[in-house]
Structure 1
Amino acid sequence: MTLATQRILIIGGGFSGMSAAIDLRRRGAQVDLVELDAGWRNYGAGISLGGATLRAFRQLGILDAFLAQGHAADGVRLCLPHGPQVAELPTPRIAGADVPGGGAILRPVLARILADATRASGADIRLGCTFTRFTQDADGVDVEFTDGQRRRYDLVIGADGLYSKVREALLPQAPKPVYSGQAVWRAVLPRLPEIDAATMWMGPRIKPGVNPVSQSEMYLFVTEPRPTNDFVDPASFVDRLRGLLDGFSAPTLQSIRAQLGEHSQIVFRPLEGLLVPRPWSQGRIVLIGDTVHATTPHLASGACIGMEDALVLSEELARGADGVPAALAAFEARRWERCRMVVENSSRLGEIEIEGGDKEEHARIMRSSLMALAEPI
């Protein structure tokens, strides 16, 4: 059976699910995508992206749209709390000599770019719909849906995120997401003239940074230790975020602090992680993205490894002369170590920040991780 003759269901319309739909359609598969949110919305402020993500964008055919609507630049500037730059983290041009080594974009804008490409691919998209149950045999998977339909597929891909219902049904003993003891604040602000690349200020335990997301906007991100995952009243967001910047006298940060207000689209997110041990599949059902390897944002690679999952899965299915189960085994073998590295190294970076720990270890993990991410997938 060739990929062009296969019927594939993707459950979940996030970044990894949309990427899978785009690439599988490019290779000729018949693809259905169901997404529970009838509005196909994506919440959040900005998202920072490394060169490996831009490489994935190029393969998906959305790189030009990203460059037009987001922002790309080389290097990450590291500064002291009072302002002086002390280092610059290099970002290799992984996506090609003509493409900067990193960048950022507003998360809803990236979601719209991917959604447009998914629609253009010819995938059958059903919004406000998800599965209710599935049963499988050696030849396929029968799926029942919330809209009353029942369809049969050669493969089902679970891409429904951190709190995945597919994972719960397929692997009920899988670990649950774990709170990291750290949270991140994000806000969208008018771009300052001096901010033309990602810039971070290295406080003892609180780490602010900014990244341009377009020609006119930038987003602020601030990580802080929070021993318990308590509710934070949105009415307090502005004052709390301003307070986190009180200990930083850097003029740029103080200018940003003064701009913060109710208009700043402030988002607060407790950071959680998840790494599901292999296998990530059973029979003809496979899990990808945050469903099996959700990471904290310290390496700016969570979206990246989910999109890479989609591309590698599509590639292995296309070459899978030995059938779907063999292709899924090859997919997992290629993905496990890279995804484990991102999840575990990101977690360790967070631990060092929470503890106010060894900055040399922090820098060493960052360097080795970025070098590993530059490798082919």
Structure 2
Amino acid sequence: MPVAQKVAIVGSGIGGLTLAALLADAGLDVEVLERAQAPSTLGSGITLQGNALRIFRDLGIWPQLLEKGYPFDTLGLRAPDPEATVLAVLDDVRVGGNDLPATLGIPRPELAAIVRARAEQAGAVIRYGTAVVGLEQTDEAVSISTATGQRLSYDLLVGADGLNSSVRSAIGIEERPRRTGMGIWRAFVPRPAEVTRTDLYYGGPAYIAGYCPTGPDTMYAYLVEDAQDRHGADGPAIMGGLAAAYGGPWTEIRRSLDEHANVNYTHFTTHLVEGPWHRGRVVLLGDAAHSCPPTIAQGAAMAVEDAAVLADEVLRADALEDAVLARYRDRRLPRARTVVEASVQLGQWMLEGRRDADVPGLMHLVSDTVKVPV
């Protein structure tokens, strides 16, 4: 019998929902505590590499992801000129194995809906409108208080509540995300027929101009610039202006950047909790424990891998001792560090204008790391 019969997961992001499905499959009583009043239907697209797809395949949801997403196996490099000259088309590494594509682009709401349905099918309960405002724990249980005055008790509490994790703060872990100096514009737009993979344009008015197909008719496009205050800015107009230097599919993308376009701006941030990821019966997962810029598209995959490893450690433990949660962190920290440091380094090289940087070597390091199953 698993040592933790009743588990709470704070946050209904992809990592938390994956963990909920894995634990509920094993017969645990799992509740996902989400402060939002309902599932979000907002968001652009997300890039998933094979190491995430491998875990989703094992969960049995790969067919649904394939139906809603867009798979591809190559990466294009284009010049930042009006013709968008194709410089190279590279075979991407199938880090999830030869039976999966190298990459899947998918709308974020579609991904969330599929994983959420899988967790609920397994028996997990998602409690919306449940904001955790305090917690206490003993050797036997964790008790939390909610914004609505409820008191709830669990054997294990998992903080999967993102970059600004309230659970991380509540257990006294001091690491916080810091900005890296870059910001990114993202737009969710119709997919030009020419877009069948991710293409990257390095240089021009942005450090990176890129896009990722997410379905038969959809894609997201992005532009990376120096971080600045863009609060209240006219996102479509600014993004359209930056995109004017890029040709190829960007010509059609720009036409979609009107006043109705779904455009957002965020700063690149990073952090890594080097010490223990738990205090007593409370443990962190995903962006609560580590985060990185999206320069190598591994953020979501790292959270999904965290979920698989944490579930493995909890389900095979004889007692919920410190050693169980310490093993989880020890298995995850080296891999998370490699991804975080590589993601930050790639951005730093661009900020410094380094033309002699060993980008292929860095990407090879990451691929070699994540192709090994967790």
- Which one of 258, 261, 268 corresponds to residue 258 of structure 2? 261
Check conservation: 2:33, 2:126, Cα contact below 8 A.
yes
- Secondary structure, counterpart of 1:351 in structure 2: helix
Cα-to-partner distance string for 1:140-179 (whole Å, 9 max, x where unaligned) = 212222333323221110111111111111025x122111
- For the 8 Å contact 1:178–1:272, the answer to whether it is kept is yes
Instruction: Give 1:135's aligned amino acid.
Output: E
Paired with 1:318 and 1:175, the residues of 2 have a C-alpha distance of 28
Tell me the equivalent position of 2:371. Answer: 374
SS in 1 for 2:325: helix
| Partner residue in 1 for 2:40 | 41
**1:197 counterpart = 2:197:** yes
- Partner of 1:254, secondary structure, is helix
Matches within 5 A, 1:127-146: 127-146=128-147
The 2-side partners of 1:245 and 1:282 are apart by 47
User: Pick from 348, 352, 358: which aligns with 1:351?
Assistant: 348
User: Residue 165 of structure 1 corresponds to which residue in structure 2?
Assistant: 166
Aligned residues: 371
TM-score, normalised by the number of residues in structure 2:
0.94
Q: CA deviation at 1:323?
A: 3.1
Residue 262 of structure 1: SS of its match in structure 2?
A: coil
Alpha-carbon offset, residue 296 of structure 1: 0.8
- Match for residue 93 of structure 2? 92
In structure 2, what is the equivalent of residue 308 of structure 1? Answer: 305
Which structure 2 residue ranges, 5 or more long, are not aligned? none
1: CA distance, partners of 2:180 / 2:41:
23
Distance in 1, matches of 2:26 and 2:2, equals: 7
Identify the residue that residue 11 of structure 2 maps to in structure 1. 12
Secondary structure of the corresponding residue to residue 139 of structure 1: coil
Give me the whole-angstrom Cα distance separating, in 2, the residues matched to 1:145 and 1:336.
Answer: 31
Q: Deviations over 1:218-268 (max 9, x none)?
A: 111111122xx413324x1122111212333x3322332233212331111
Q: In the alignment, which residue of structure 2 is the partner of 1:221?
A: 222
Q: Does 344-353 or 85-94 show the bigger shift?
A: 85-94
Counterpart check, 1:238 vs 2:239: no
> What is the alpha-carbon distance in structure 2 between the residues aligned to residue 308 and residue 275 of structure 1?
16
Distance 1:70 1:120 in 2: 21
One-letter amino acid of the counterpart of residue 239, structure 2? L
Runs of 4 or more above 4 Å deviation: none
Rounded Cα–Cα distance in structure 2 between residues aligned with 1:107 and 1:181: 25
- Please give the alpha-carbon distance, in whole angstroms, between the structure 2 residues aligned to 1:47 and 1:244: 22
User: Which one has a larger percent helix, Structure 1 or Structure 2?
Assistant: 1
Deviations 1:283-341 (A, max 9, x none): 11101110010111011010110111011100111111253422211111110011111
User: Partners in 2 of 1:94 and 1:349 — Cα distance?
Assistant: 20
Equivalent position of 1:179 in the other structure? 179
CA 1:358–1:56: 2 relative to 1, 3 Å: farther
Deviation at 1:359, TM superposition (A): 5.3
Deviation at 1:280, TM superposition (A): 0.4
Distance 1:114 1:76 in 2: 27
Q: Which amino acid aligns with 2:221?
A: L
Whether contact under 8 Å (1:4, 1:29) holds in the other structure is no
**1-side partners of 2:152 and 2:36: how far apart?**
20
In the alignment, what sits opposite 1:67? 66
SS of match in other structure, 1:354: helix
Instruction: State the Cα distance separating 1:4 from its structure 2 match.
Output: 7.2
Q: Over the residues paired in the alignment, what is the CA RMSD in angstroms?
A: 1.8
Aligned-partner Cα distance in 1 for 2:208–2:141 = 49
CA distance in 1, matches of 2:30, 2:369: 32
Query: Is 2:248 the counterpart of 1:247?
Result: no
Say yes or no: does 1:285 pair with 2:285. no
Q: Match of 1:50? A: 49
- The answer to whether the Cα contact below 8 Å between 1:56 and 1:304 also exists between their aligned partners in 2 is no
The residue type equivalent to 2:49 in the other structure is: G
Q: Which runs of 5+ in 1 are unaligned?
A: none
Measured against aligned partners, the alpha-carbon deviations of 1:10-66 in whole angstroms (never above 9, x if no partner) come to 111111111110111112211111100012215321111111121121123221111
- Asked if the contact 1:4/1:30 (under 8 Å) is kept, the reply is no
Identity %: 33
Output the CA distance in 1 between the equivalents of 2:133 and 2:185.
Answer: 35
- In the alignment, is residue 365 of structure 1 matched against residue 365 of structure 2? no
